[in-house]
Amino acid sequence: MQPVISAPATAADLPPAVLHTRDERGVHNLVLSRPATFNAMSEEMLAALQAALDAVALDTSARIVVLSAQGKAFCAGHNLKEMHAQPELAYYQKLFAQCTRMMLSIQQLPVPVIAKVQGLATAAGCQLVAQSDLAVAASSASFGVNGIDVGLFCATPSVPLVRNMPAKQAMEMLLTGEFITADEAKARGLVNRVVPLDALDAEVEKMVQAVLSKPREAVAMGKALFYKQRETGIEAAYQLAGQTMACNMVHPVAQEGVQAFIEKRKPQWPAAAA
């Protein structure tokens, strides 16, 4: 697995805030590597994540992204000390715009992003999980949007949160600041799977292999359609979905897939889809 150039660390004795590697399958692994600060979403971390996601976007053979973290916490949200040191509206507007751009980059990638959550995910960290396309959590992980505890409603985390779980369940988390367990997160739709911590790597790998077995073009078309249609009215959504399916159907991957089904054999995806 070869390292990918990522944003440099601010201190000479620290590794990059995000460790970025890519394997021969086109799987990009992004690892938040600031365990001492619980992988807080500092300006440094935001810049490093954005640089890594931009690099993935330029990789035409990328297949999937796995987003994980070092230490006990997945991500403890924004760095409040850093934010408190610059109490200016213009600074906060710039910071949250930077965070929004990074979160949207996850959705705009043509490949799925899997959050591998080993520990605490709170505020913007919970937002990062909600924004990811898929999420697998260790049974010891916990989730919260507890900015309200310090008088700050988690407004930006609420955007993907309410798109993952029922409105009243999301609002309860946002208004009370109470944390939920990994099993509760699964029941509410925030994560896909929950396994013991020692089985987390293997469970994520199973999901990775399932995605890799499908043609990249169909996955890319499907992901783009999924998010676009969700934000439109039902008639427009059906028109968009119908057009996407028609374009997908005439693509060589679908032609091969249907032919293989008819002939009762395993599809041999075209080279470009591998």
Q: What is the pLDDT of residues 85-107, one digit of tens each?
A: 888 899 899 999 999 999 999 99
CATH 3.90.226.10 is held by the domain 2-212: yes
* DSSP states along 62-128: --EEEEEESSSEEE--B-HHHHHT---HHHHHHHHHHHHHHHHHHHHSSS-EEEEE-SEEETHHHHH
Find the mean pLDDT for residues 7-15: 59
Tell me, what's the pLDDT at 274?
43
Residue 14 has pLDDT above 60, yes or no: yes
Q: Would you state the pLDDT for residue 246?
A: 82
| Residues in a beta bridge with 69 | 32
Q: What is the pLDDT of residue 1?
A: 59
CATH 3.90.226.10 domain extents, the chain: 2-212
pLDDT (tens digit, 9 = 90+) per residue, 63-83? 999 999 999 999 999 998 898
Comparing CA positions, the residue from 64, 22, 18 lying closest to residue 41 is 18
Residue 3 confidence (pLDDT): 55
Q: Model confidence over 145-196: pLDDT tens digits?
A: 999 998 889 999 999 999 999 999 999 999 999 999 999 999 999 999 999 9
pLDDT of 5 over the 50 cut: no
- Which pLDDT score, from 0 to 100, does residue 243 have? 85
What are phi and psi for residue 6, nearest 5 degrees?
A: -130, 175
CATH of span 216-273: 1.10.12.10
Average pLDDT, the chain: 91
Q: State residue 131's pLDDT score.
A: 97
**pTM of the full predicted structure?**
0.90
Residue ranges of the chain assigned to CATH 1.10.12.10: 216-273
